[in-house]
Amino acid sequence: MPKDRVVIVGAGVAGLVSAFALAARGLDVTVVERSTSFGGKMRQVAIGPSLIDSGPTVFTMRWVFEELFAAAGKNFADQVCLRPLDVLARHAWDEHTRLDLFASEERTIDAIGDFAGAVEADGYRAFCRDTKRIYDILEKPFLRAAQPSMGGLIGADGFRGLLRLPHIKPFSSMWSALGRYFADPRLQQLFGRYATYCGSSPYLAPATLMLVAHVEREGVWSIDGGMHALAKALADGATSLGATIRLGQEVNEVLISCGRVNGVRLASGERIAADAVILNADVGAVATGLFGVPVRHAAVAVPSPARSLSAMTWSLLAETGGFPLRRHNVFFSGDYAAEFDDIFARGVPPNEPTVYVCAQDRDDEDTIATGAERLLILVNAPANGDRHTYNAAEVEQCAQRTFGLLGRCGLQIRQPANAMQVTTPADFNRMFPATGGALYGRNSHGWTASFQRPGVRTKIPGLYLAGGSTHPGPGVPMAALAGRSAAASLLADLTSPKSFRRTAMRGGMSMR
C-alpha cells in the first residue's frame, strides 16, 4: 500500500518534531528547508573554529521531547546529553547588587530573604504557589491543545472551570500582579522579565504569563554541544525513521488542486507531490503570499503594532573579567518602564537596555580557564527590520549602551578583532521573512492576545501550520508542542471519514 506523503516546509524545531512524529508512524515525509542548515531560530554562528548558539539558549520542559522520543520507541536521554543547572540565572543591577535564582525553591527563598528581607521571601512563596496553580490549570486544556479557546478552557470542567478563571489572572497585567507579591521594584523587574520570553512587555502582558517562572523552577538544563545539538538529534531521529531532509531548497508555492493541497513547487521549478503540507514558517510569510496566492487566506498577518520583540545580538569570543558569570546572566536597566516605552511606543532601541549574556562555556561554576569564551549578548529591540536598516552608527551606538551597562555592573569584556558578529532586526527579517525581525510572532499584550494565534489546522484541506507564531507560542518547547499538534491533527484527519474538512480555530499562549 502506498504511504501517505507529507511535505514539511521549514526545518525549525516545529518542522523537525512534526517530521519525527510522522515518520515514526510510517508516513512518507520530506522536509524542505531554504537554509543550508536545520534548526531555524536555533542557529549557530561560527567565530573562527568556535560555534556559538545565537538563538534560544534556555532549555526547559524536557518532558515534551521525552514523550516524543518515547512514542517512537527511542530514549531521549540516549540522544541528547543534558546537564541540570543549579543556578537558573544570575541577575545584577550594578557592580555590587546581585541575586541568583536557584533550581531549589528553598535556596531561592533564602537568597531573596538575604537580598530584600523576610517579607519579600514570603511574597516569593506565594508567587511560587500561584504560578504553579496557573500552570496546572492550563497545561492539559490549553498548552497541549491543538485549537484551544477561552470557551473550551472554561468548558473543560463546566462551572468549576469558570470558577478557576480568576486563578489564571488573564485580566491583570503582569506588572500590576507582581506588585501584590513584591514591594521591592528590583524583584518586580526580575520576575517581570518573564514576559520578554514571549516577546512582550510586562506592563502590557497578562499576569497569566507568570507561569513561565514555574516552568523554569521545574528545571533548566544545558545541552552538551549547545542548543543546536537538540536540532541535530531531532533531524537524525527523523531521518533514521525514514524522513528525507533537503537543505538549501526554497519552496515558492504550496500547490492546490480541487480545493485541497497536493504538493509544493520549489524555486528550482521542481514539484513535490504530497497529500498534506505542514508550513513551519511565520504566519506573516503565509499571509503575505510567500507560499503562493492560493494559500494566503490560510493565515492572518500580524499587524506591525502587534508584533513581538526583536533583538540586537552580539555573538563573540572574548576574555572576561570582573564579574563572576554563570551560564545565564541578566543585567538590568535603571528604568524598566522607559525601556519598553522606547521599544513599543516609540519604535526605537532602548536608550538603556536590559542585557542578557549567555556564557556558553560555563554551567554552575564561577570560574573558567583563562582564554576566550563563547558569549551571546542580547538586548531587546523593536521589530522594524522590514522598514528600517540599521546603519553602522546605529549599531555602534547600541553597542556602546549595551557594553557600557555591562561595564557599570563590573563585567569587563576584551575581544580580539574579527571575533564578533552582530545581528540586527533587519538581519532577523531577512532570515525570517515578513516578520520585521519579530522573534516570537504576535506579542501577548492584553488578555485576548493568546487566543489570536492560529491553531494548527487551516481552512484549506491538507494544509497545517506549526511554529512559534502559532499556538501554543514561541520558544523551543512551545514550538515543539505545535509540531506535535500539527502531526497529530494531520494523522487524525487522514483517518477521519471527513478527512481534511475541519476549519481553523484560533488559540495560543506565548512562552519561552
Cβ neighbours of residue 410 under 8 Å, at least 6 residues apart?
Answer: 92, 95, 322, 323
pLDDT at 213: 95
Domain-embedded: residue 24: yes
Contact 316, 420 (CB under 8 A): yes
Contact 351, 338 (CB under 8 A): yes
Report the distance separating Cα 81 and Cα 400, nearest Å.
Answer: 37
Report the distance separating Cα 41 and Cα 475, nearest Å.
Answer: 9
Query: In this structure, are 412 and 343 located in the same domain?
Result: yes
Domain-embedded: residue 94: no
Query: In this structure, are 318 and 427 located in the same domain?
Result: yes
Buried b or exposed e, range 231-263, using 16+ CB within 10 angstroms: bbbbbebbbebebebeeebebebbbbeeeebbb
pLDDT at 169: 65
Domain-embedded: residue 282: yes
Query: In this structure, are 454 and 345 located in the same domain?
Result: no
Query: In this structure, are 163 and 59 located in the same domain?
Result: no
Domain-embedded: residue 158: yes
Domain-embedded: residue 105: no
Residue 300, classed as helix, strand or coil, is: coil
Query: In this structure, are 299 and 320 located in the same domain?
Result: no
Query: In this structure, are 475 and 363 located in the same domain?
Result: no
Domain-embedded: residue 91: no
Structural domain harbouring 373 = 309-431
Domain-embedded: residue 103: no
Report the distance separating Cα 458 and Cα 338, nearest Å.
Answer: 39
Q: How many domains does the chain have?
A: 3
Report the distance separating Cα 56 and Cα 30, nearest Å.
Answer: 25
Grid coordinates representing 326 are 554563570
Query: In this structure, are 427 and 318 located in the same domain?
Result: yes
Report the distance separating Cα 410 and Cα 321, nearest Å.
Answer: 8
Residue 482, classed as helix, strand or coil, is: helix
- Domain final residue, candidates 431, 452, 471: 431
Contact 59, 269 (CB under 8 A): no
- Domain final residue, candidates 189, 218, 247: 218
Contact 213, 131 (CB under 8 A): yes
Residue 346 DSSP symbol: I
Q: Which residues of the chain have pLDDT under 70?
A: 1-2, 141, 146-171, 365-370, 417, 497-512
Which residue intervals of 85-227 are DSSP H helices?
Answer: 105-116, 118-138, 150-155, 159-164, 174-181, 185-192, 211-217
- Domain final residue, candidates 410, 431, 452: 431
Which residue intervals of 378-421 are DSSP H helices?
Answer: 392-408
> What pTM value is reported for the model?
0.92
Residue 465: give its domain's CATH number.
3.50.50.60
Contact 314, 420 (CB under 8 A): yes
Domain-embedded: residue 504: no
For 192, what's the count of Cα atoms within 13 Å in the CB-facing half-sphere?
Answer: 29
